[in-house]
Structure 1
Amino acid sequence: MSALALGLVAAVCWGFHDICVRFLSQKTPISACIITVLTTGLIFHLGLMTFTGGFQPIESDAIWLSIVAGVLFVIATFGLYAAFQRGPVRVVAPLIAGYPILSVAWAVWMGTEISALQWLAVLAIIIGVAVVAALSDTSTDETPPLGPTIFYSLIAAAGFAGTFIAGQWAADLSHDMPSTLVTRVLAVALTVLILIVTKQSFLPDRKALPWLIAMGCADGIALWCVLSSGTLPNAQYAAVTSSMFGLLTILLAWVLLKERMTLPQWGGCVVAFAGVGYLAL
């Protein structure tokens, strides 16, 4: 499977994750959602490694890169939730959706040749996702000052880009399954520490637990797809296409929750998928 396809699988999984967050966050503390999803993702990954025989020794350099990826993933996750909690979506979503620019820029820095048309395709995907997500925000409520919101959004974008860069690098140096395991263990441990220090809730609502487990499995598949693409050509495109999770969340809301899609949003979908189509050529 190509890096582009793995990124799309990740986008679908994270899209499902986010559509669940839409209705679970109303009744379950965000902290409980995060720790339950991350822990389930870790258990899922351990099960996958056991089933596939993925337990292999990894290089020390790959361990350190995986640890960095785990720290950045936690930073990105909390930054994302903090940004969306403050809102508005029309500001937050485009900023976070821009993280693939950093991934592609890093690939260029490392010597990968990216043509002008490929850059345009990447920008088309980001713009398409941003348009669809921004237009989904119809709220008119007063929002907190934009300065901290923009800061949290940029932290989330940089965190996701750094997670994928470090994780893919680790997978390229060693084996993707154990490298991703190190990232997940570190992410869970760091999240537990943060919740203890900040005295936030660990326990989700019992009715929400099955959905959170499903979200954790989806998150496990998504992160593994993006990080494992580090062994493939054009690994940066996994990060690019995975950024479409925001667009797919809104499409899933249209299909499952019967939420309205406007003509400009459909136009954003066309632009984004046209960009993916070009990169797939």
Structure 2
Amino acid sequence: MLTAVLSLSGALVFGAADFLGGLAAKRIGAILATAVAALTGCLALLAALPLIGGEWRPDDVAWGALSGVVNAAAIGLLYAALAIGPMSILSPLTAVVSAIVPMAWGLASGETLGPLGGWGLAVALVAVVLVGFVPERGAVRPSAKGLALALGSGVAVGAFFVIMDQTSDASGAVPLVMNRSADAAVMFAIAGAVALVGRRRRAGAGRSAAAPARAPSSPSRVDASRRARSVGLRLAVACGLVDVTANLLLLGGLRSGDLTVAAVLGAMYPAGTILLAAIVLRERIAPVQWAGLVLALAAAGMLALA
């Protein structure tokens, strides 16, 4: 029961973090937004660690750092897949794969579920697809590259669950501290490399005789850009705090029960994003998504009883 409650709650909160991260990415870019969120989460966990507790065991530190690198790869592959599209197909594909990988690992490792639990997992997988699937008018078929990137992202997200499940209960939040540290290091390194390449390209264009002169930006445009950047940074910080809360809930779900149940319910994270988008941005929730949300709650109940 506790595993189902913590995992589903963590998924909904994680969806809220994705919503905030999406708003931040529109203003400061996906790479910088992810890096700032990861750094914020790391600092928040370090501040709260004396209250949460945790032993700094070498194995748990290594697992946590590895999960951070895997998490950075998952985000990078996800953004690349969604940029190719169509999102309505690749997004739910990623979520389903992220549920199947740890579920298969858990069952192969000896976890067993009763008949009700098996049906609950099946209903949960259907719910993941319906929640993330939004039929687009005239949607095109996904390319082989888009499918490969989405599958890679799903495998990486699923691997995150498997890796975190290897940590000991005594480690507390230490693996998450290492996760956020490694994630922030990777994303800031990427952001720095992208900025350096951009600067060199601009310098090369400036030395070219054929490069057209840029018109000076108006003060109002500069002020608007600064305000957007400031808002984006604040949203990224909020995203980091909410994301840490979600990960603590998901980690609690993993440690209180089976990896199989925790991972499948954790894959419901699109539901939180969709609900917030409907409430805050007035985006329409498709009937198929409402059906998915209902099935998600039903699946959580079945898995809790199992």
Q: What TM-score range do you get, normalising by the shorter chain?
A: 0.7 to 0.9
Aligned to 1:183: 179
Task: Please give the residue correspondences for 1:1-281 in structure 2 after superposition, counting only pairs within 5 Å.
Answer: 2-50=2-50, 52=51, 54-58=53-57, 60-98=58-96, 99-135=98-134, 138=136, 140=138, 146-172=143-169, 174-199=170-195, 205-281=229-305
- Whole-Å separation in 2 of the counterparts to 1:22 and 1:35: 13
Report the 3-state secondary structure (helix = DSSP H, G, I; strand = E; otherwise coil) of the residue aligned with 1:205: helix
Q: Could you tell me how far apart the structure 1 residues matched to 2:52 and 2:297 are?
A: 36
Q: Equivalents in 2 of 1:16, 1:38: separation in Å?
A: 15
| Counterpart AA for 1:71 | V
- Structure 1 residues 150, 54: closer, same or farther in 2, change over 3 A? same
Q: Deviations over 1:132-164 (max 9, x none)?
A: 3212x5365778x62121111111111111111
Larger Rg: 2
Count of equivalent residues: 275
- Residue 10 of structure 1: SS of its match in structure 2? helix
* Matched-pair contact (CA < 8 Å) for 1:124–1:272: yes
Q: Distance in 2 between matches of 1:256 and 1:86?
A: 27
RMSD: 2.5
TM-score, normalisation: structure 1: 0.88
CA contact (8 A) 2:4 2:261 kept: yes
Q: Which aligned runs of 4 or more in structure 1 are off by greater than 4 angstroms?
A: 139-143
CA separation of 1:22/1:191 partners in 2, compared to 1, >3 Å: closer, same or farther?
Answer: closer
Q: Hey, what's the Cα distance between the residues in 2 that align with 1:100 and 1:21?
A: 22
* CA distance, structure 1, for counterparts of residue 161 and residue 181 of structure 2: 16
SS in 1 for 2:110: coil
CA distance in 2, matches of 1:22, 1:179: 25
Q: Equivalents in 2 of 1:256, 1:56: separation in Å?
A: 40
The alignment's TM-score, normalised by the length of structure 2, stands at 0.81
Q: Distance in 2 between matches of 1:138 and 1:24?
A: 25
Q: Deviations over 1:186-220 (max 9, x none)?
A: 2211222233334479x981122222111110111
Q: Do the aligned partners of 2:27 and 2:231 also contact (CA within 8 Å) in 1? A: no
- Cα offset for 1:167? 1.1
Percent of aligned pairs sharing the same letter: 24
Amino acid at match of 2:172: D
1:178–1:265: structure 2 CA closer, same or farther, 3 Å change rule? Answer: closer
**CA shift digits 1:23-59 (9 cap, x unpaired):** 4333321111111111111111112213x0625331x
Gap runs ≥5 in structure 2: 199-225
User: Contact 1:5–1:238 (CA<8 Å) still a contact in 2?
Assistant: no
Residue 75 of structure 1, CA deviation: 0.9
Alpha-carbon distance in 2 for matches of 1:105, 1:270: 25
Cα shift readout 1:83-142 (whole Å, capped 9, x = no counterpart) = 22222122112211111111111111211112344233223222222223212x536577
